[in-house]
């Protein structure tokens, strides 16, 4: 079918709103990444029945379908050439004693508002704040600063309801038949290929499905390639009564990161880093030329504070328990991406695929060595911030325009280095258009074959978000 026919034909067979005008297609051709892919049509289903109709139509005509949440993903995961399923109408929330059950289109901000009323919060807290959706968070296995103590989306995911590409609604882990089929293709021999890091959003997380009762976890980080998430039930946590934030400054990134293993022993709820490029944008009250560690404490505060003090010293650290100040200081950290983008000049470009590696924490100095080596070899600038406590750094290499030909080479060299350190090429943002080409490098051919079997079990025609995580031909 010609792409121009898809929208009008869909509008005839479904009762939901369908758009295929230029402006809407332009809008949906982008997310928060640097990639552009123009879809043929955008749909806004309001019920599972409508999703099923769209999926069956797409399967009949071999049209790819990509689910989309807030479009805040950083790897082009929500971009596709076929039909986009904008899940915003799946916006119901049910709060239980220690969980939230939310439609895929519920924005995190809405979930947070409801949960705050119940004195609870959701563990994964991406720095984008309220603008991402539950579906997108499950799709990428999102996490955030507090994942250090409370885990990523995969750790919170109690159950999930998906629609498969054939138009079948499946509840996981309840659906025993799907769980059994999945176990038939999971080969435990490949589990040794999984990096020993606290966060990983590369490939399918078969390492987190030890029993059929955990089978829902296969959907976390699956980037819309196994099924359309319609709702998810996620564990919630009581909001701590008191919190404190220590912001410690260092002369160099190496000095700051060198201190991370010792600070981790104190048991912070978050341990983040921002480099001097970002601090330069933070206003006069912050020390220019310094690197900052954010150390958040949410229990045993006075005891932990003195332990942190023994490590950081008093001269170079600021401490607050004032909720307003804590919010304000976090807002600087959470806008690190936008600060870093602001420092790029017109004749520079950012290399999109390297930005989210995670290594075992004691290997952070090795990761810095690797970055230093690439910096001098390819004469690039680098901005670094991220989740130091998880060994997960957002490294943003900036090249002179016209160097795009060597981008893949730099990425391959970087990823080889990260993998040899026992790390993952993506800790939280996922593979998408950025890193799908490197998933096989991460895990090797045997694991990649298992991933293919997983994909084919849920989506034999490769219709759901094709060429993300896994490709048919590799």
Ligand X SMILES: Cc1cc2nc3c(=O)[nH]c(=O)nc-3n(C[C@H](O)[C@H](O)[C@H](O)COP(=O)(O)OP(=O)(O)OC[C@H]3O[C@@H](n4cnc5c(N)ncnc54)[C@H](O)[C@@H]3O)c2cc1C
For residue 32, count other CB atoms closer than 10 A to its CB.
17
Q: Choose the stretch contacting ligand X; rule: CB under 6 A; options: 110-118, 122-130, 190-198, 364-372.
A: 122-130
Residue placing its CB nearer to ligand X in the complex, 31 or 50: 31
236 binds ligand X (CB under 6 A): no
Site for ligand X in 409-438 (CB under 6 A): 428-429
Identify the residue among 16, 19, 104, 178 touching ligand X (CB under 6 A).
104
64 binds ligand X (CB under 6 A): no
389 binds ligand X (CB under 6 A): no
Encoding tokens for residue 200?
Answer: 């990983």
Identify the residue among 72, 165, 277, 436 touching ligand X (CB under 6 A).
72
- Nearest distance from C-beta of residue 100 to ligand X, angstroms: 15
352 binds ligand X (CB under 6 A): no
128 binds ligand X (CB under 6 A): yes
271 binds ligand X (CB under 6 A): no
Task: Report CA Rg, the chain.
Answer: 22
140 binds ligand X (CB under 6 A): yes
Residue placing its CB nearer to ligand X in the complex, 14 or 434: 434
Identify the residue among 82, 167, 195, 224 touching ligand X (CB under 6 A).
224
For residue 379, count other CB atoms closer than 10 A to its CB.
10
Euclidean distance between CA atoms 202 and 193, whole angstroms: 12
Per the DSSP assignment, residues forming a β-bridge with 86 are 68
Identify the residue among 11, 32, 311, 349 touching ligand X (CB under 6 A).
32
- Nearest distance from C-beta of residue 359 to ligand X, angstroms: 17
Residue placing its CB nearer to ligand X in the complex, 292 or 374: 292
18 binds ligand X (CB under 6 A): no
Task: Show the site string, 307-346: x = touches ligand X by CB under 6 A, - = not.
Answer: ------------------------------x---------
144 binds ligand X (CB under 6 A): yes
203 binds ligand X (CB under 6 A): no
Residue placing its CB nearer to ligand X in the complex, 14 or 164: 164
Is 391:364 a contact under the CB 8 Å cutoff? yes
139 binds ligand X (CB under 6 A): yes
Identify the residue among 101, 207, 223, 467 touching ligand X (CB under 6 A).
223
Strands 291-297 and 392-400: unpaired
Identify the residue among 368, 465, 466, 470 touching ligand X (CB under 6 A).
465
Q: Choose the stretch contacting ligand X; rule: CB under 6 A; options: 164-172, 220-228, 281-289, 318-326.
A: 220-228
Query: Whose CB is nearest to ligand X?
Result: 136
272 binds ligand X (CB under 6 A): no
Residues in touch with ligand X (CB under 6 A): 31-32, 66-74, 77-78, 87, 104, 126-128, 132-133, 135-137, 139-140, 142-144, 223-224, 228-229, 337, 428-429, 465, 468
């Amino acid at each position: 079918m010609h792409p121009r026919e898809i929208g009008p034909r869909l509008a005839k067979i479904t009762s939901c709103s369908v758009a295929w005008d230029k402006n809407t297609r332009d809008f949906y051709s982008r997310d928060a990444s640097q990639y552009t892919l123009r879809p043929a049509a955008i749909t806004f289903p309001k019920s599972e029945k409508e999703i099923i109709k769209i999926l069956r139509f797409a399967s009949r005509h071999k049209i790819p379908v990509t689910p989309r949440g807030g479009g805040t993903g950083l790897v082009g995961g929500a971009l596709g050439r076929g039909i986009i399923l904008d899940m915003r109408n799946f916006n119901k929330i049910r709060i239980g004693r220690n969980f939230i059950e939310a439609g895929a289109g519920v924005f995190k901000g809405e979930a947070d508002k409801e949960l705050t009323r119940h004195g609870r919060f959701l563990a994964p807290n991406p720095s984008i704040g309220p603008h991402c959706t539950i579906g997108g968070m499950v799709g990428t296995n999102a996490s955030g600063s507090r994942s250090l103590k409370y885990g990523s989306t995969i750790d919170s995911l109690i159950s999930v309801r998906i629609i498969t590409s054939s138009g079948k609604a499946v509840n996981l882990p309840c659906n025993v038949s799907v769980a059994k089929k999945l176990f038939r293709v999971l080969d435990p021999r490949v589990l040794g290929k999984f990096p020993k890091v606290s966060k990983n959003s590369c490939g399918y997380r078969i390492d987190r499905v030890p029993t059929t009762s955990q089978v829902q976890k296969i959907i976390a980080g699956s980037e819309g390639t196994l099924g359309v998430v319609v709702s998810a039930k996620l564990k919630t946590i009581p909001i701590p009564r008191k919190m404190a934030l220590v912001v410690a400054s260092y002369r160099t990134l190496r000095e700051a990161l060198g201190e991370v293993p010792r600070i981790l022993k104190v048991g912070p709820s978050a341990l983040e880093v921002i480099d001097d490029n970002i601090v330069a944008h933070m206003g006069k009250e912050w020390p220019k030329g310094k690197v900052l560690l954010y150390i958040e404490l949410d229990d045993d505060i006075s005891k932990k504070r003195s332990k942190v003090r023994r490590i950081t010293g008093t001269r170079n650290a600021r401490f607050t328990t004032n909720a307003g100040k804590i919010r304000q200081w976090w807002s600087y950290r959470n806008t690190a991406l936008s600060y870093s983008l602001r420092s790029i000049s017109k004749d520079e470009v950012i290399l999109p695929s390297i930005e989210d590696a995670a290594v075992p924490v004691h290997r952070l100095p090795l990761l810095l060595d690797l970055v230093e080596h690439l910096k001098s070899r390819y004469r690039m600038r680098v901005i670094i911030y991220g989740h130091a406590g998880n060994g997960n750094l957002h490294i943003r290499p900036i090249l002179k325009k016209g160097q795009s030909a060597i981008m893949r080479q730099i990425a391959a060299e970087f990823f080889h280095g990260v993998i040899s350190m026992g790390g993952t090429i993506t800790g939280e943002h996922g593979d998408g258009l950025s890193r799908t080409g490197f998933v096989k490098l991460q895990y090797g051919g045997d694991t990649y074959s298992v991933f293919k079997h997983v994909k084919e079990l849920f989506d034999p025609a490769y219709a759901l978000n094709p060429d993300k995580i896994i490709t048919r031909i590799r």
